[in-house]
Amino acid sequence: SQRVFSGVQPTGNLHLGNYLGAIKRFVELQEGYDCIYCVVDMHAITVWQDPVELKKSIREVAAAFLAAGVDGSKQIVFNQSQVPQHAELAWVLNCVARLGWLNRMTQFKEKAGKDRENASVGLYAYPNLMAADILVYRATHVPVGEDQKQHLELARDIAQKFNNDFATSIAANGLPEKFFPQPQPLIAGPATRVMSLRDGAKKMSKSDPSDASRINLTDSADQIANKIRRAKTDPLPLPESLDGLKERPEADNLIGIYAALADTDAQGVIDEFGGGQFSQFKQALVDLTVAKLGPINAEMTRLVADPGHIDRVLGDGAARAEAIAAETMTAVKDIVGFVRR
Ligand code: ATP
Ligand code: MG
């Protein structure tokens, strides 16, 4: 069977990269898969979060899923900390994953920065919790942005090592040889890595101190217009072909954003705007972005005004998620050799 799992951290400032790289894909995938979409609050606390803000952000991410078009009654929408099996399986996977594997994770190096001695242990072990998030549902497909590719590869390695280390026990318990399936990353389309509007070499990120670097899902039409008009570009007009676009990261980024919002590809954008001036293209990009994000923003505002409703969606999702996760965890305990209650 095919099952999609993915998560977004409630770390504030949901942005266009989160939408194009993840949330928009979540909506598309619900047509073909059973989907589990998680607000990963336990990941968020790997760096300090203000508790009052965290609660707000959890509901805001849930609202963004729903506002973008995820159907919370058909799919499972919940927050991670309500389903204890994530943490439970993460511990077992901490004991499967190797230090050497985690030492290679580039996101830890970036997020820990220079003061690595002072990073939380949780930030280091984060990829193991992410593997648990996916594997506890035995999910087969994981839509993420390009930046999560390395963590997905680690999850695959962990799944395989678990299956190998416990092969005899898996068989003795009458369970399938590939107890944990290999989760496939779904990283596709023209905006798998949306870059900062201020720096074509940096990914658009929630944590960038410059608000002008990103388009937030909560930005007004005026804010969107200002940020896109001020977005960094080179002095040349838009290219007339895809050749050399990779050497023009800012142009490549804006073309990718337009393509993703318009459901076309970079070639489609070049067919329409190639050879033209950026000032003109930017105006078209403003109009398109406002047209696509405006209704989502309005619906998010409506939803967050009724936290009781969001909390019911999350609670209902958690109950359905836990039913699946508990079954996996029971099997994992048998496989590992724990004595169950
Ligand atoms: P943080 O800085 O707190 O890590 P983030 O912007 O990276 O925030 P996450 O919650 O870590 O957001 O990621 C949620 C999803 O959005 C993931 O699938 C991730 O790959 C995707 N994503 C994040 N940034 C981008 C981006 N710039 N372009 C495309 N996808 C992105
Ligand atoms: Mg991230």
Counting ligand 1 atoms within 8 A of each CB, the residue from 147, 151, 186 with the most, and so the one to mutate, is 147
Q: Please identify every residue annotated as catalytic.
A: 111, 203, 206
- How many CB atoms are located within 10 Å of the residue 160 CB? 14
| DSSP symbols for 84-139 | THHHHHHHHHHTTS-HHHHHT-HHHHHHHTT-GGGS-HHHHHHHHHHHHHHHTTT-
**Tens digit of each residue's pLDDT (9 = 90 or more) over 37-73:** 999 999 999 999 999 999 999 999 999 999 999 999 9
- Report d(CA 39, CA 83) in Å as an integer: 11
pLDDT of residue 18: 98
- Report d(CA 195, CA 113) in Å as an integer: 20
* Domain map (residue ranges) of the chain: 3-192+306-336, 211-302
Q: Which residues contact 79 (CB under 8 A, 6 or more apart)?
A: 10, 38, 39, 40, 41, 58, 62, 314, 318
Counting ligand 1 atoms within 8 A of each CB, the residue from 15, 18, 126 with the most, and so the one to mutate, is 18
- Evaluate if pTM is beyond 0.95: yes
pLDDT exceeding 70 applies to what percent of the chain?
100
- Per residue, the 3-state secondary structure of 190-253, as one string, reads CCCCCECCCCCCCECCCCCCCHHHCCECCCCHHHHHHHHHHCCCCCCCCCCCCCCHHHCHHHHH
Q: What H or E segment, with its residue span, contains residue 316?
A: helix 307-336
Is the CB–ligand 1 distance for residue 9 below 6 Å? Answer: yes
Is the CB–ligand 1 distance for residue 22 below 6 Å? Answer: yes
Distance 123 CA to ligand 2 centre (A): 12
**Tens digit of each residue's pLDDT (9 = 90 or more) over 229-252:** 999 999 999 999 999 899 999 999
pLDDT of residue 204: 97
pLDDT exceeding 90 applies to what percent of the chain?
99
Is the CB–ligand 1 distance for residue 206 below 6 Å? Answer: yes
- β-pairing, 184-186 vs 141-143, is parallel
Is the CB–ligand 1 distance for residue 11 below 6 Å? Answer: yes
Q: Which two tokens stand for residue 273?
A: 């705007």
Contact yes or no for 67/60 (Cβ under 8 A): no
Amino acid of residue 134:
I
pLDDT of residue 15: 98
pLDDT of residue 341: 87
**Tens digit of each residue's pLDDT (9 = 90 or more) over 107-135:** 999 999 999 999 999 999 999 999 999 99
At the topology level, CATH places domain 211-302 in Tyrosyl-Transfer RNA Synthetase (1.10.240)
Distance 18 CA to ligand 1 centre (A): 5
Is the CB–ligand 1 distance for residue 248 below 6 Å? Answer: no
Is the CB–ligand 1 distance for residue 193 below 6 Å? Answer: yes
Distance 17 CA to ligand 2 centre (A): 10
Measured from the Cα of 9, ligand 1's closest atom is 10
Beta sheet of 141-143, edge-to-edge order = 76-79, 34-39, 3-8, 141-143, 184-186
Domain 3-192+306-336 has CATH 3.40.50.620: yes
Distance 280 CA to ligand 2 centre (A): 32
Query: Which amino acid residue places its CA nearest to atom 16 of ligand 1?
Result: 18
pLDDT of residue 207: 85
Distance 188 CA to ligand 1 centre (A): 15
